[in-house]
Chain A
């Protein structure tokens, strides 16, 4: 594990617990796809849960200079969950992928390739 911050892109995956709002098969496909691809990534059990208890892990996940792909749910929800935990995401360099609306295959393709999908800026619309 690298102990220094790098400008290399990061991936954060949310395993969305408690509710089936993210189709389980999409979650599983994305999680396994990330793990099998050999890339490094951070996986969290549930962003809502971390935000509710203001878990310091959110500060860590929002920090650093590297651009970050967050694989979770609606961009507006993700943005304000981080804000609720006093770990606001930067306005630039954050791409949020929505497993509630995208297939596992499409999500993986977007995350594992350089091209980005939904920019955080769009969440303001």
Chain B
């Protein structure tokens, strides 16, 4: 994963001076969160997370004449105070957007595997299985989610082949893949699925290779496009059902040659 630059920290000031009316405050808060901003709401009780390098953008229920820039007494951080009394929730969001980015890639649903290292045995099955280059090993040869943005939205297939149920997709519908507590029967079930994948053809790559070669052979010999397509759909439907893979992901599978190349690379990394 690549680290993001520090962004603006929005502070909804509910302590100093006039405060936003509850309904308005909640609308502003919701608007900022849906725009992708992290918001600190001040209050009379409890503390908030400590200061870091992020610039502070403090919103107060004052007119624009109250706008001013200063520095925090601790750390000398830039503090920009902005009055929002004359703005509605959309106006507040637009003003905040002028100060710093919120949601960086709104078109990308943050769907990616999260590894539970308390369970992971570093067996590399996920590295071998994933066809899209999501996994890699770090400098200590530990499996790592190196390219989360390459993960195919709503595809939990790698978690289904993990024998230790160590791969989570927090936005998945069912446990334990969603992070729910792993029960003994979950481990048995996932191991059974791994066995099924083995039974299907030794491993996923050979299965896909066989399917591809079979379909290509049939297509070249019989010139029967309809039949070849039907066979392809049958095989894909089986994969889709067993691993809960979205159809659009199967449509994006690499070529057989690319899959074999990927398998060779994964095998080398896991043996190093």
Choose among A9, A16, A17, A34 the residue that contacts B47 (Cβ–Cβ < 8 A): A9
Which B-chain residue is minimally distant from A56 (CB atoms)? B6
User: B168-183 CB contact bits vs A (8 Å, 1 = yes)?
Assistant: 1011110110111110
Q: Are A19's CB and B48's CB within 8 A?
A: no
Q: Given contacts A18-B110, A35-B29, A124-B118, is CB(A54)–CB(B2) below 8 Å?
A: yes
Q: Do A45 and B37 touch across chains, with their CB atoms under 8 A apart?
A: yes
Q: Are B114 and A1 touching (Cβ within 8 A)?
A: no
Contact of A39 among B46, B102, B104 (CB under 8 A): B46
Contact between B42 and A56 (Cβ–Cβ < 8 Å)? no
Given A38-B14, A45-B103, A85-B1; 5 other pairs, CB 8 A cutoff:
A1-B48, A21-B178, A40-B48, A43-B39, A51-B110
CB distance from B28 to the nearest CB of A (A): 10
Q: Is residue B268 within 8 Å, beta carbon to beta carbon, of the partner chain?
A: no
Partner of A38, one of B43, B109, B179: B43
Identify the closest chain A residue to B36 (Cβ): A45
Is A42 touching B103 in the complex (CB atoms < 8 A)? no
Please judge, given known A-B contacts A53-B2, A56-B4, whether A40 and B110 are in contact too, CB under 8 Å: no
CB <8 Å contact, B26 and A35: yes
Instruction: Say yes or no: is A117 at the interface (Cβ < 8 Å to chain B).
Output: no
Quick one: which of B26, B50, B170 contacts A63, CB cutoff 8 A?
B50
A73-104 at interface with B (beta carbon < 8 Å): 73-78, 80-81, 83-86, 100
Contact B49 A38 (CB under 8 A): no
Give chain B residues whose Cβ lies under 8 Å from the Cβ of A35.
Answer: 22, 25-26, 29, 41
Query: Please, how many angstroms separate the alpha-carbon atoms of A16 and B33 in the complex?
Result: 9
Interface residues of A in 16-60 (CB under 8 A from B): 16-19, 21, 31-32, 34-57, 59-60
Question: Which chain A positions have C-beta within 8 A of B182?
Answer: 76, 125
Cross-chain contact B46 with A10 (CB below 8 angstroms): yes
Contacts A39-B45, A43-B38, A45-B38 known; A64 to B112 CB distance under 8 Å? Answer: no
C-beta contact mask, B138-156 vs A, less than 8 Å → 1, else 0? 0000000100110000000
Complex CA–CA separation, A75 to B179 (angstroms) = 7
Q: Are the CB atoms of B33 and A15 closer together than 8 Å?
A: yes
Report how far A50 CA is from B114 CA in the complex, Å: 13
Docked-complex contact A42 and B114, CB < 8 angstroms = no
Kindly state whether residue B164 has any CB partner on chain A within 8 Å: no
Chain B residues near A3 (CB-CB < 8 A): 51, 72-75
